[in-house]
A and B are shown apart, each in its own frame.
Chain A
Amino acid sequence: MKTFLILGAGTAGTMIARKMAGKLDSHDWKVILVDKDEKHYYQPGFLFIPFGWYKAEDVIKTKQEFIPGNIEFILSDIEMIEPAANKVKLTKDNREIAYDYLVIATGASIHPEETEGLQGAGWHKNIFDFYTYEGAAALHSFLDKWEGGRLVMNVVENPIKCPVAPLEFLFLADDYFTRKGIRNKVELVYATPLTGAFTKPKSARALGDILASKNILMETEFNTGEVDSGKNILRSFDEREIPYDLLISIPTNKGADVIGRSGLGDALNFVPTDKFTLQSKDWPNIWVMGDATNIPASKAGAVAHFELEFVVENILAHMAGKNLPGGFDGHASCYIESGFGKAVLIDFSYDVEPLPGKYPLPGIGPFSLLKQTTINHWGKLFFRYMYWYMMMKGIDVPLPSAFSLAGKEQ
């Protein structure tokens, strides 16, 4: 009996476990999935929690619901990965699992302790994150009673999961405070280490225009050095200061600690990974998927989903002793909520920046790229159903995995 082991049962791990369990002959292979947390979070929904538009039950379910009987699920923390011995040590019962193939899908999480003062006296008092359910829920209670002031959104350093989420938060905050009738009492500021609203020129301009149209101020090339929660001041490494009444922080994002402990990661515990095959750069029987990789693609659920087909193809080719076909092109698709019932969609790859046009059907859409439309907003809301009832249930989503230029205006 051979073992196909998957670490992490989030977005990527759940999808690949289901897929491989369906492909591998159960007489020869055992598929094992390990995660330390019995809850499965729909993280894109965390964006709506602070505004009270989603509740806990919209974003939290049990992992068990999405793991079919042909997969052995183990609830345990992972102590160590030992690639030279093809072995993983779990904390629960000191169990050791020998594997033939390993997929690392342990994701990324926030590390506020990396920034001086961020977790000081103000943490979860007037400083919040919304990248965890707890942070988003605490922020909801705060916003409920807040009467206004200066709200500063700060990205500490890149890369972060869902790089558009901070923008979406600001757009929705503008909407939320307007509806509450206190928008004139709230100043919205975006402090980012980037030189503009986004990385690539066309989308940076389009998104920058939306920020300006909503009267959201931008402080660019701001590299956060420390938070002074006594004085409510955010300070950059080059000594610029931004005072705040409410600080919403996207702390440093890092891969799982166990990656670092096992000597498998870079400076941020992301695993060096081939960007076309998703194979580990160091270990031929290890694949890496989703946020855990160091590939230059967005850390997004949609990206993990587009990776799936290629990961399966490459692993099966490797098992059959064939050359790896590669194929993953960095395809990412992100709905960006822009407030007042509209959203913008961006669709891009390693080589092509987000462009205007229609998606997925050229000329037809129904979604419009780099433009605010109501249909895009419905797309964003529909994504939650697609996530829980299709992607996590192993039902193929009718969207091509490969990036296409068709329908895009250059």
Chain B
Amino acid sequence: MTACSAACLPACVSSVWFVFPRSRTELDERPRPLSACLSRRGAASPCGGNRSHRPVEPRRRSAMLTRVKSAVANFMGGMMAGGNNGDHPGGSDLPLKYPYSRPEFLGLSPDEIECSADHVARPILILKETRRLPWSTGYAEVINAGKSTLNEDQACCEVLVVKRRPAGCSTPNRTSEDLTFHYWALFDGHAGSGAAVVAARLLHHHVALHLQEVMEILCSPGLLPPTCLGEEAASLRGAAGAPGSPSTPPTRFFTEKKVSHESLVIGAIENAFKDMDVQIEKEKSVYNISGGCTALVVVYLLGKLYVGNAGDSRAIIVRAGEVIPMSAEFTPESERQRLQFLAYMQPHLLGNEFTHLEFPRRVQRKEVGKRMLYRDFTMSGWAYKTIEDDDLKFPLIYGEGKKARVLATIGVTRGLGDHNLKVHDSNIYIKPFLSCCPEVRVYPLAQCEHGADDVLVLGTDGLWDVLSNQEVAEAVTCFLTNCDPDDQHRYTMAAQDLIMRARGVLKDRGWRIPNDRLGSGDDISVFIIPLAYGNKQS
């Protein structure tokens, strides 16, 4: 209901050219206390030494947990008391742009948010019975087992209506319809919740702005996007006009690339990510926007699903029980060659402390002069080189799998924010190596038939760390076939079931899932989007 309100608004508010689902006043929020982040996601110390940012060992865990818990209590207590304790290390005197919160569509009060931040019982939050998301989308989330005080995942689900620009900008006599798009997004924050909170509030507005720029073209499916907008009127009329119309497009003497409507939408999403990142960077000077975040967004527009991903969240379609991957993760390992190439081209970014080459392990001083396996940005395979002094530096990319890090600091290579993130105890910035650019994949939803159990599953890495695509597909399919197909809440129940499977239950030796596998101690958030609703829409 809340989320759909945008769809009903434009008729009564014709002066707006596109509708913000919430009022603009939200943009100036008052300061709120935010507790310190006790551990940085994916943070490890350079040189693998005994520095404080090492992942917490199991033995130290309970002590850590206690500290985390009391930090929650203090933060929450402070929040409830309305006081700014302001004594957190690494904090900022600047006001928060938005207060920490849980997704708006959950409709939680501050008390409920406080209750939900329980790292011991880890309650699974779901969409309430009284609430509906567009397409009956299901949603569930759970907080981490203590790695950070707050749940650093964020989510957003909206229906937005893009209206034509104010008159005067474009051909006034063309009356194009409004453009409605559906939007779902997950953000996974690290080193603080600030960037994720801001992105969850604002990224869809950037998407809307960029779609607005091309909406007239998008709304004319029979016409290819004009190459140059100055000639737009002529070419539009020429193509659509009566035969023998005097305004036939001028003959061209060079070949022109044909650009599809679809790629205009992709471009809009990509540029929205870029603008969001720039906005976070700019506003850092006036607001405290902590950390960075990954972003996974889904846009449904004119019969197609666009899935944009920057980071290590994941989207899969489950259709008739079969998995169709809709995203790929961006990690130090998957982006090694891009990162190495950047460091090779701009060695100063490594601050004389890192080498862009990769070795199977740290090189030891006594190995100088010997020949060792390595690979450069030009290689996917391995070769031998003679070890020099320079090779003793810490590798730009180090570690395997979930432990792989860029500059010994961060385990994800795309996302928003992180402009202030530096290598521990140094002046080396991480940001140049991070890209805010998403990979956008398209699914022609309207061209495919979908049953009630065909869904798009979005999850943050907490889910995918412990469950494979296949396991998720089987779990969702099995759950949905066992519930009433008319139950509007079945997708939320299925999301809750997925979270339960990934979180597991707390045993003596931590969170466990069946077969004594380790459950996820991370924040986990899941959307389950039924695709059949898209078919009804178009």
Q: Does chain A bind chain B?
A: no
Q: Which residues of B contact A (CB under 8 A)?
A: none
